[in-house]
Amino acid sequence: MSELFSNFFSGSIPMEAYLGISLIMFFAGVYGFLTRKSLLMILISIELMLNAADINFVTFNRYLYPERLEGFYFTLFTIAIAACETAVAIAIIINIYRNLNSVEVGNLDQMKE
């Protein structure tokens, strides 16, 4: 039993493990995006998905092209953009809250007309 554990822990970490984590994180985000009503929850889900993408970039960069840094920089810029996006999105959400007194996505269907 302990041998099994030691084997499991002593081998190096495969790339699929990282990808698997990011996959779970991403689909958790998708699930949240589809089920939650609050705009803030939707934003949280989006952050999850973005983060999952970041992990993928970094992982591919590190495992497949260790001599270069494209994935690294891409992630860096993505974090910056995520910050922008969150700031604007929250500004919009606060404005919506002021006007409609709610942040439920179901109320925001005026644009269809």
Partner 1 sequence: MQYTLLILVLPLLSFIVLGLVDSKWKPKVAGTIGTIVLGIITALSYYTAFEYFTLHKVAGVYEKVIVYDMEWLRFTDALHINLGILLDPISVMMLVVISTISFMVNIYSLSYMDGEKGFQRYYAFLSLFTFSMLGLVVATNIFQMYIFWELVGVSSFLLIGFYYTKPSAVAAAKKAFIVTRFADLFFLIGILILSFYTKTFDFTILTAEHTTVFAGTTGITFMGFSVLSWAMAGIFIGGAGKSAMFPLQIWLPDAMEGPTPVSALIHAATMVVAGVFLVARFFPVYYFQTPEVLHGIAYVGAFTALFAAVIACVQTDIKRVLAFSTISQIAFMMVALGVSGYEGHEGTGYMASMFHLFTHAMFKALLFLGAGSVIHAVHSNEIKDMGGLRKYLPITNWTFLIACLAIAGIPPFSGFFSKDEILSASYEFSPFIGGLMTFVAALTAFYMFRLYYSIFWGKDYTIKASSHGHDDHGAGHTPHESPFAMAFPLIFLAAVTCVAGFIPFGEFVSSTGADYHIHINLTVAIVSVVVASISILIATMMYRKQSTTPDKLAKIFSGLYKGASNRFYIDEVYMFITKNIVFNNISRPIAWFDRHVIDATMDGFANTTQWVSLRIKGFQSGQLQQYAYVFLFGTLLIAVLLFIF
Partner 2 sequence: MAEQIIFYVLAVIITVFSILAVTSKQIIRSATYLLFVLLGTAGLYLLLGFSYLFAVQIAVYAGGIMVIFIFAILLTNRPGENVKSELPIRRLVALVTSVAGLAFCGHIIYWNVKKVIQLPLMEELTPQKLGHIMMGTDKYQYLLPFEMISILLLACIVGAIMVARRR
Count of residues near partner 2 by CB under 8 A: 75
38 in helix, strand or coil? strand
Q: Binding of partner 1 at residue 105 (CB under 8 A)?
A: yes
Q: Give min distance, CB of 20 to partner 2, in A.
A: 7
CA distance 69 to 51: 18
**DSSP assigned state of 13:** P
**Among residues 17, 30, 80, 92, the one that binds partner 1 under rule CB under 8 A:** 30
Nearest by Cα to 90 from 57, 53, 41: 41
The residue type of 60 is: F
Binding-site size for partner 1 (CB under 8 A) equals: 11
Q: Select the binding partner of residue 46 from partner 2, partner 1, none (C-beta < 5 to 8 A, by kind).
A: none
Please give the Cα distance from 57 to 18 (Å, whole number). 11
Pick out residues in 36-95 that bind partner 1 (CB under 8 A): 42
Residues at the site binding partner 1, with contacts judged by CB under 8 A: 30, 33-34, 42, 105-106, 108-112
